[in-house]
Chains A and B, each alone.
Chain A
Amino acid sequence: MLNSVSAIRHVPSLPMTNDPAVVEMVGVNKWYGAFHSLKNIDLTIQRGEKLVICGPSGSGKSTMIRCINRLEEHQQGRIVVDGIELTGDLKKIDEIRRDVGMVFQHFNLFPHLTILENLTLAPIWVRKMRRKEAEQIAMHYLDRVKIPDQAHKYPGQLSGGQQQRVAIARSLCMSPKIMLFDEPTSALDPEMVKEVLDTMVSLAEEGMTMLCVSHEMGFARQVADRVVFMDQGEIVEINTPAEFFSSPHHERSKLFLAQILH
């Protein structure tokens, strides 16, 4: 069980050298019926690393990060998360999910619970924390995402940007080792994108390991250590953001960038 002090204070990220990989995907394949949605994915993510995954729609980027916490099942290959291999073993899957936070495109907050209850649900029932303690941690994270005054409202009463920040805080309450973001800003009104990105940037600055499926190129430039470009279920290119945006190696990357940058 966590004690509240370590949960509240963020431990700075360790240096990347000789630290074991926190996510390791080796030869991962996935099919939906006849459709081959992930083709031989090899990807290793170090602790504290920030990855931005981009690519055209249907390229398998969401599927790939959803495989990491087993919202999707892979059919071939190995995925090891924080030293635990993902197999059919439900215990291990729950163990991994406790330590891997996820933020969805459509927030997926629990509409029948208040913001505070949304945040304390998992710490109380999964981490077996006392309610008082869980609420303390929840308020701390609501403070971090700058909406402590909304704690007793329901998700339906908040704007999209606020809801997404609550969703980020909800994941953080479990003190995850990795955060997965599945297009966190693409369902938001344009004027709300920034507040969510700012929250993500500050999270990145604290050393959180992050995988973001995102088309926010400014965000990628600012925080990403590597950009992963996917197309048709394959990883086409992995590059530093500076190089990826100025001189991508692959034709398909060039084409994609030309299309999204107009």
Chain B
Amino acid sequence: MLSILFVASIMMPLFLPEALLPDKFVRALVALTIFAAAYLAEVIRGGLQAIPNGQYEAAASLGLPFWRTQRLVILPQAIRVVIPALANTIIVMIKNTSLILVIGLFDLISSGKAALADPEWPSPAAETFLFIGAIFFALSFSFARFADFLERRGPAAH
């Protein structure tokens, strides 16, 4: 994670001329996306392996072509199996956004710190950090509940 961010923020300017270099924020975004994609792909792969061969055979015997089979038969089941793991990964990614601090961008926490550094800022430090904590909690908790809802939807696990 950190190494990808460093490549994006420090190495890329060494290779690319100023004019072609995207904004630092965009580079961080791409780095996070690549990182998340690799993790999510691995989770989905786990789900695909959980689908018994009989499902492929049944779909094949009905004449469904490969991509139709994936879309209509395999993926709906595979994704369902990995909903808990997907939720985990996504919540970790939400919290990982704080790491962009190391390349000098402001995440939620560092924005809070910056605000505290402002002498005009009225509220005490504890309040600021509690509020940031509440935002993280709200994001993670609501996503966990959403995953729970997805898991309960549809047929009972067989």
Where the two chains meet, the residues of A that have a C-beta atom closer than 8 Å to any C-beta of B are: 69, 71, 90, 94-95, 97-98, 100-102, 104, 106, 108-112, 121-122, 125-126, 154-157, 170-171, 174
- Name the A residues within 8 Å of B64 (CB-CB): 121-122, 125-126
- Name the B residues within 8 Å of A102 (CB-CB): 57-58, 61
Q: Could you say which of A98, A104, A174 contacts B58, with CB atoms under 8 Å apart?
A: A104
CB A26 to nearest CB in B, in angstroms, measures 23
**Contact B156 A154, beta carbon cutoff 8 Å:** yes
**Assembly CA distance A111 to B54 (angstroms):** 12
**Assembly CA distance A174 to B65 (angstroms):** 15
Tell me the count of chain B residues lying within 8 A, CB to CB, of chain A: 22
B104 is an interface residue with CB less than 8 A from chain A: no
**Contact B61 A106, beta carbon cutoff 8 Å:** no
**Contact A97 B63, beta carbon cutoff 8 Å:** yes
**Contact A170 B62, beta carbon cutoff 8 Å:** yes
Chain A residue at smallest Cβ distance from B76: A112
19 contacts between A and B (CB under 8 A): A69-B61, A71-B60, A94-B65, A95-B63, A97-B61, A97-B62, A98-B63, A108-B55, A108-B57, A109-B58, A110-B59, A112-B77, A112-B80, A121-B73, A122-B62, A126-B68, A155-B155, A156-B156, A171-B61
**Contact B156 A94, beta carbon cutoff 8 Å:** no
**Assembly CA distance A111 to B158 (angstroms):** 7
CB B66 to nearest CB in A, in angstroms, measures 9
**Contact A126 B63, beta carbon cutoff 8 Å:** yes
CB A242 to nearest CB in B, in angstroms, measures 32
**Contact B72 A71, beta carbon cutoff 8 Å:** no
CB B106 to nearest CB in A, in angstroms, measures 43
Chain B binding surface SS class: helix
B154 is an interface residue with CB less than 8 A from chain A: yes
- Name the B residues within 8 Å of A95 (CB-CB): 63
- Name the A residues within 8 Å of B54 (CB-CB): 104, 106, 108
- Name the B residues within 8 Å of A154 (CB-CB): 155-156
**Assembly CA distance A76 to B88 (angstroms):** 50
**Contact B72 A125, beta carbon cutoff 8 Å:** yes
**Assembly CA distance A155 to B63 (angstroms):** 21
- Name the A residues within 8 Å of B55 (CB-CB): 108, 110
CB A156 to nearest CB in B, in angstroms, measures 4
CB B65 to nearest CB in A, in angstroms, measures 6
**Contact A126 B62, beta carbon cutoff 8 Å:** yes
CB B127 to nearest CB in A, in angstroms, measures 47
The 9 closest A-B CB pairs, nearest first, are A98-B63, A108-B58, A154-B155, A122-B62, A102-B61, A108-B54, A97-B63, A156-B158, A126-B63
- Name the A residues within 8 Å of B62 (CB-CB): 97-98, 121-122, 126, 170-171, 174
**Assembly CA distance A97 to B64 (angstroms):** 8
- Name the B residues within 8 Å of A170 (CB-CB): 62
**Assembly CA distance A97 to B59 (angstroms):** 10
**Assembly CA distance A98 to B64 (angstroms):** 8
**Assembly CA distance A227 to B39 (angstroms):** 54
**Contact B155 A100, beta carbon cutoff 8 Å:** no
CB A131 to nearest CB in B, in angstroms, measures 14
CB A67 to nearest CB in B, in angstroms, measures 13
